[in-house]
Chains A and B, each alone.
Chain A
Amino acid sequence: MPELRGKGWRVAGYFIWMLGAGVVLDSDALGAGGVLLAVGGALFGHGVVQSMRGAGVSG
């Protein structure tokens, strides 16, 4: 999915992180919430690294 390079992965990661936060805060499913937090954080970090490697600071 080349369209998501940089900014797209950051936004997707942030949304998934927030969903994980909701699961952790609203329920007892800490495991599932933790997985979502980890996946969201990893995608956000992936987007940041891609941006630093040439997708532009805000791109």
Chain B
Amino acid sequence: MSRTFFALLNLGLIIGAAVLGARLYWRDHPEASEGRGSRLLSARVRAWYFSNLEPFEALFVRLGVRPIALTYAQVVSSVVVAAAYASGLVFTAGWLVLFSGTLDILDGKVARRSGGASPRGAFLDSVMDRYAEFVGYAGLMVLFATGWRVWAVLLAILGGFMVSYTRARAEGLGVGCEIGMLQRPERYVLLGFGSLASSIAGQLFGGDHVLLSVTIVLLAGLGNLTALQRIRYVSRALAGPTHA
């Protein structure tokens, strides 16, 4: 069987499984539309994905897996993401990005379910997230070693770090800042599915990672836009009567 066949089969399965899963979940959980979400990832989609991870939360808690072990596993998987991108294995890298993002979700959920959530764990999780994010982008820089796309990756790194830094600094000053269209889960989804789609499109139509390039440009643009949204929001909040 040819790779084109596998590419088409996987495209159909990715779309089919997502549509089927979402339909089943939304039929059984109509209340899931409440809660925080964004334009790219609604509260319903987040709730649907979290519900898919509940069996693994329960399993890890029963097995006594420590949340910090999942955090470190996420960093290790990000190193493999970088190696995959650097080697041109774009579909595998996209899968690993989604896997790494899933571990990022699971460590916090396992910590809360097992009663082991702590400020130390939250701090280590945030710090390791930054390392993991940078390592993944480093692989992309190797893949796009020459040309304009290296600069797009650099801007994407800047955007991702500024989105996190603005929130951390704002919360240090007593201002909540969970706003913006491209927060960390959105970045995982965009890069992960962008890589999968780029690989499948490359198998079907050829081209030099065209969709992945578009994804990087989107990450760079929307990431920095989100950082600017946060700067504006926090600046206004701090100029108010309570903080001025």
Contact = CB atoms under 8 A, between A and B. Distances in A.
Contact of B199 (A5, A14, A19, A26): A26
Interface of B: 3, 6-7, 9-10, 13-14, 17, 24-25, 27-28, 51-56, 58-59, 62, 84, 88-92, 94-95, 99, 199-200, 203
Given A3-B55, A3-B58, A58-B25, A22 B7 contact: no
A56 B207 CA distance: 44
A19 B3 contact: no
B6 A11 contact: no
Given A22-B89, A24-B3, A4 B55 contact: yes
A25 B203 contact: yes
Interface in A1-21: 1, 3-8, 11, 14-15, 17-19, 21
Given A14-B17, A27-B89, 10 more contacts: A3-B55, A4-B55, A19-B92, A21-B6, A22-B91, A25-B6, A25-B200, A58-B24, A58-B27, A58-B28
Contacts of B51: 7, 58
9 nearest A-B residue pairs (beta carbon): A8-B55, A22-B92, A26-B89, A3-B58, A3-B59, A58-B24, A22-B91, A21-B10, A25-B91
A49 B127 CA distance: 41
Which of B6, B25, B27, B99: most chain A Cβ within 10 A?
Answer: B6
A57 interface: yes
B52 A7 contact: yes
Nearest to A6: B55
Contacts of A11: 52-53, 55-56
22 contacts: A3-B58, A4-B55, A5-B55, A6-B55, A7-B51, A8-B55, A11-B52, A11-B56, A14-B17, A17-B13, A18-B10, A19-B92, A22-B94, A22-B95, A24-B3, A25-B91, A25-B200, A25-B203, A26-B88, A26-B92, A57-B28, A58-B24
User: Range of interface residues on chain A?
Assistant: 20 to 34
B24 to A, nearest CB: 4
A22 B92 CA distance: 5
Contacts of B90: 26
A23 interface: yes
A5 B55 CA distance: 8
A22 B97 CA distance: 12
A8 B56 contact: yes
Given A7-B55, A24-B3, A24-B6, A57 B91 contact: no
